[in-house]
Amino acid sequence: MGLRKTGVVGAFALVALLLAGCAAPPSAPNPSLPSRRSAPPAVTLPGLRLQPASFDQLPGWGGDDLAGAWGAWRRECAARSAALAGACAASVAVPPDDAAAQRAFFEHWFQPWQASSPDGHDTGLVTGYYEPVLHGALQRRWPYVVPIYGLPAGLVDRADPGDGVTRGRIVKDDAGGTVVAPFWSRAQIDADPRAQADLARNIVVWLDDPVDALFLQVQGSGLVALPDGHTLRLSYAGDNGWPYRSVGRWLLDRGKLRGTVTMQIIRAWAQMHPDQVRDMLEANPRVVFFSAAPLDDAGRGPTGAMGVPLTPLRIVAVDRRVVPLGTPLWLDTSADARPLQRLVFAQDVGGAIVGALRADLFFGTGAKAGDRAGRMQSQGRFWVLLPRVTAPPRS
């Protein structure tokens, strides 16, 4: 998603390294029978240290009803991850309404590993994100005056940028040749009529609130209700390559707010200080570009980085350089001042989700989900579930 450093380990390399330390495969590949074996040794990888554990050691494992988890898993299998091919093939035979069989399936096919940082810390930050429902129009007219841009035609990647801006635009240099200059930042777009004119060729919708536009870019997707009663789904299409900067941190650093900053608090501050909203928005130079399509299924969630619909409270965005997409995780944290212990799947990413012990939990669509997501800032522990070495299922 939109905003959603350590060494880089690819999904296949990570799984291969871990499986190399696993014990022998079970003799019976029946997914309804959990496998019991000696624990493999601990594994240290760039940015992540994994200590073997048992399912009995997962806090609350037996209390998770797995509602929604099996659907999220089967949608993940549709993405055809090679590392999960064996487990996906076996899961076809598991009834979709049998939580006990599903629990036994995960116990049989996966080995839990408790995750910690290389320096030994085993807790990290869990935040929340959601899909907002906004109001907009396809043509500029009051109050719909805030443009949401589609992917610019001239956006190119920059090789090894020393300034940290990973995307650019081709411009002429003093010698008459061309160079790849950093793409415009948010502040530069606001101040440069040429940038605005260039981006205006790809406006996908106009919104009625600049703070809504900011939250849309932070969340990475959204629904837009149009005046004629139709709804658009906006999906992440790219970004300008500038690093993400938190407007909440900007407000704290300048003494404008104190304590915990949530989306609700940011919105309230903006309503009280309309003359400072532009400065706040420009504190984040990153601009996210979107694609738009008619909403064809109101019950289907937004699409994550794996190309499958997201399931509320079962999907987390992670740093894919540390945790491969598709990895099942056991999450032990809290939400709304209550324990939250459940099976989740790493199916999404975000520009602000960086590091080993970092996750962004998807809460769903709409205002209620946004209220919960906006208040979610909790410490959490993580167990990575990786495939055991198993024999192929019998035909």
Are residues 99 and 190 both part of a single domain?
A: no
Residues 19 and 74 grouped into a single domain:
yes
Q: What is the pLDDT of residue 45?
A: 59
For the record, the structure tokens of 310 come out as: 């997201």
On whether both 195 and 47 belong to a single domain, the answer is no
Cis peptide before 143 (omega within 30 of 0): yes
In order, the DSSP letters of 100-166 are: HHHHHHHHHHEEEEEEE-TTS---EEEEEEEE-EEEEESS-BTTB-EEEE---TT-EE-SS-TTS--
Successive 10-residue mean pLDDT values, the chain, 395 residues: 40 42 37 46 70 96 96 92 89 95 97 92 95 97 98 92 92 87 97 96 97 95 97 96 95 94 93 97 97 90 93 96 93 96 96 89 96 94 86 39
Domain final residue pick, 242, 268, 294: 294
CATH code at position 168:
2.40.240.50
* Claim to verify: residue 163 and residue 188 sit in the same structural domain: yes
Contacts of 100 (CB under 8 A, 6+ apart): none
| Domain presence at residue 154 | yes
- Does residue 154 share a domain with residue 65? no
User: How many domains would you assign to the chain?
Assistant: 2
Residue 339 placed within a domain: yes
What is the pLDDT at residue 289? 97
Quick one: 139 and 116 in the same domain?
Answer: no
* pLDDT value, residue 174: 81
CATH code (residue 350)? 2.40.40.10
Whether the Cβ atoms of residue 145 and residue 208 lie closer than 8 Å to each other: yes
pTM for the whole structure: 0.84
Kindly calculate the radius of gyration of the chain based on its CA atoms and give it in whole angstroms.
23
Scored b (16 or more CB within 10 A) or e, 177-206 reads: eeeeebbbbbbbbeeeeebeebbeebebbb
In a domain, 299, yes or no: no
- Considering the domain architecture, whether residues 249 and 338 belong to the same structural domain is answered as no
The answer to the question of residue 42 being in a domain is: yes
Do 334 and 274 fall into the same domain?
Answer: no
Q: What's residue 170's pLDDT? A: 94
Identify whether residues 49 and 103 lie together within a single domain. Answer: yes
Q: Are 286 and 3 in contact (CB under 8 A)?
A: yes
Residue 209 sits in which domain range?
129-294
Residue 366 within any structural domain of the chain: yes
List, in sequence order, the alpha helices (H) in the chain.
11-19, 69-78, 85-91, 99-109, 186-191, 193-199, 210-219, 247-253, 263-272, 277-282, 367-375
Q: Which amino acid is at 359?
A: A
Q: Are residues 99 and 242 in the same domain?
A: no
pLDDT attached to residue 19: 41
Cα–chain center distance at 55: 26
How much is the pLDDT for 150?
98
Residue 394, domain member (yes or no): no
Residue 300 in any domain: the answer is no
Question: Same structural domain for residues 38 and 20?
Answer: yes
| Model pLDDT, residue 156 | 95
Is 395 domain-assigned? no
> Distance between CA atoms of 190 and 187, rounded to whole angstroms?
5
| Domain end marker among 294, 320, 347 | 294
The alpha carbon of 100 is separated from its chain's Cα centroid by a whole number of angstroms, namely: 29
Are 337 and 369 within one domain?
Answer: yes
